Amino acid sequence: MTLVAPGTCRFCGCHGESCTRSDGDKCWWANSTSTLCSAEACLRAEAERARRAKAALPPPPRRPNRFDIWDEQKQRRNRRRRKGKAA
């Protein structure tokens, strides 16, 4: 991952309001940290980067199997029983 100073587009390296978009507007900052300008190519690159980052995420933690659930229910019952005794 490259470190980009705020105020510099991480993709095209512009400093804001320097790229010309296809609609004729100058680019603006597309994120709050000012590291992504709104040039179409940069927005596309950012979308692609986000898509890849999402795909690279580790798989979600495994769902508890039915034995875990059974064990949890048992523990809950025991807790309740202990609580009842104490009260």
Binding site for Zn ion (CB under 5 A): 9, 11-12, 14, 19, 27, 37, 39, 42
**Closest distance between Zn ion and the C-beta of residue 10, in Å?**
8
Return the number of the residue (9 or 34) whose C-beta is nearest Zn ion. 9
Q: Where are the alpha helices (DSSP H) in 1-87?
A: 40-55, 66-86
Which tokens hold the place of 84?
């009842």
**Closest distance between Zn ion and the C-beta of residue 35, in Å?**
9
**Closest distance between Zn ion and the C-beta of residue 14, in Å?**
3
Return the number of the residue (2 or 65) whose C-beta is nearest Zn ion. 2
Query: Environment class of residue 21 by beta-carbon count within 10 Å: exposed (0-12), middle (13-18) or buried (19+)?
Result: middle
Which tokens hold the place of 86?
């104490």
